[in-house]
Amino acid sequence: MKTIGILGGGQLGGMLSESLLKYGAKVAFYDPEPTSPSFHRSPLHFQGSWNDFEKLKEFFSLCDLITYEFENVSTELLESLVKVTGKKIYPSASVLAVTQNRFYEKTFLKENNIPVCQFAFAKSYEDLIQILPTFPKPFIIKTSTGGYDGKGQWSIENEIDISNFITDFTKDKFVEVIVEEKIAIEYEASCIVARNQEGDSLCFPIFDNVHKDHILYNTTIPSMLNKNIQNKLKEIAKNCANKLNIVGLLTTEFFITKQKNKNNSQNETDGFSIFVNEFAPRPHNSGHISRNACDISQYDAHARALLDLPLHEPKLNPGFYCMGNLLGNIWFAQGNKDNLNLSCWKNHPEIIDVYLYGKEEAKLNRKMGHFISYSNKSQEHINAAERFRKDLNEKQS
């Protein structure tokens, strides 16, 4: 029986552990937080810093192989641990080095002729001051590392925005950033590919995504994009997984727009241009929906790839599904940040699943859980999700 070590003890690791246990593996967790919600899932859990080499070495030595649900770990440290312990980490530390740095990620895309927006890299404050006046507006400034759900980003529309940014982002605050073309987004989508050590892979159906305030709001399936665009997204996602030599999962996030791709006109399909936004070499928020909408989930696929079990293309279940994130804001709206009142659920038969992550404290914009709505009619799955959200956001008696 193999022991799979998971770096990170949050909801992604928790749901992955369910699949690993189902396929006969043991699971161990490593996380700095003593109250990590996944620690109760296994007696093999380690609480320690991401910089504690000796503690991490002990963790690695206990496991047959390692994966992660959390990306902000030093790749140099991981490579040293792999070398010292002889244990493998999937996806590899070299993959993580690409995906956790926006400049490396976009450079990888450009070098492999994969559709990506225009971008420039500012390694120094002086670089940034030279780039800002000449880069075509509108654009977005993003920190090269760190940042998620919209953190570490600045939207620039005009000269006033540039002036305000420079006033705030002074030289003493400088960190490496990329400046990238702002896309006039018509649709957002994600495609999840699982790949094993032999190079066999599977591809999930395309998930349509809607973000609000840079945080995933809804994921829906089946996709409303036409089949030609869906097939192109799958082709690109599989190509990316192969080029990165992924073992495990790779999620590719896409922007679809009528704006021309100045870097790569070959990826225009039916009047739309496709841009890769970013990668996630782990289970993805949008993929939660696969637990209900497909015959195997993203977690099953990841587990099968890690355990070298046969992979098969996921089948989409009949009907229409919508996944909505439950943010900590709802707890505050209800007036009780310690507990979520779900008494209104009984009035919403279309809501087939509510999954709470077990986090101790609700915070604004913190992902505390998700729900799934189902309908046999198009659009009704989305309408049902909105009705449920509206009820949840009202103060419960």
What integer is the mean pLDDT of 169-177? 91
Q: Is 285 annotated as a binding residue?
A: no
What pLDDT does 264 receive? 58
Instruction: State yes or no: pLDDT of 93 exceeds 80.
Output: yes
CA angle 163, 164, 168 (to 5 degrees): 120
Q: Is 389 annotated as a binding residue?
A: no
What integer is the mean pLDDT of 80-96? 98
Q: Is 278 annotated as a binding residue?
A: yes
Which architecture characterizes domain 3-90 according to CATH? 3-Layer(aba) Sandwich (3.40)
The CATH superfamily assigned to 118-181 is: ATP-grasp fold, A domain (3.30.1490.20)
Chain centroid, CA 362 distance in Å: 21
> 256 and 185 in contact (C-beta within 8 Å)?
yes
Residue with tokens 């296994």: 42
What does the alpha-carbon distance between residue 121 and residue 363 come to, in Å, rounded to a whole number?
33
What mean pLDDT is reported for the chain?
95
Q: Is 126 annotated as a binding residue?
A: no
Residues constituting the chain: 397
What pLDDT does 152 receive? 86
The CATH superfamily assigned to 187-393 is: ATP-grasp fold, B domain (3.30.470.20)
Q: Is 181 annotated as a binding residue?
A: yes
Q: Is 230 annotated as a binding residue?
A: no
> 383 and 373 in contact (C-beta within 8 Å)?
no
Among 215, 225, 159, 234, residue whose Cα is nearest residue 187 = 225
What pLDDT does 146 receive? 81
Per-domain boundaries in the chain: 3-90, 118-181, 187-393
**Which tokens belong to 31?**
């996380």
Share of the chain above pLDDT 90, in %: 90
Q: Is 260 annotated as a binding residue?
A: no
What does the alpha-carbon distance between residue 252 and residue 59 come to, in Å, rounded to a whole number?
30
Give just the sign of the alpha carbon dihedral 86, 91, 95, 101. negative
Give just the sign of the alpha carbon dihedral 10, 11, 16, 18. positive
What integer is the mean pLDDT of 61-66? 98
CA angle 177, 182, 187 (to 5 degrees): 125
> 45 and 30 in contact (C-beta within 8 Å)?
yes
Q: Is 232 annotated as a binding residue?
A: no
**How does residue 150 score in pLDDT terms, banded at 50, 70 and 90?**
low
Task: Kindly report the backbone phi and psi dihedral angles of residue 65, in degrees, each rounded to the nearest multiple of 5, phi listed first.
Answer: -155, 165
Q: Is 211 annotated as a binding residue?
A: yes
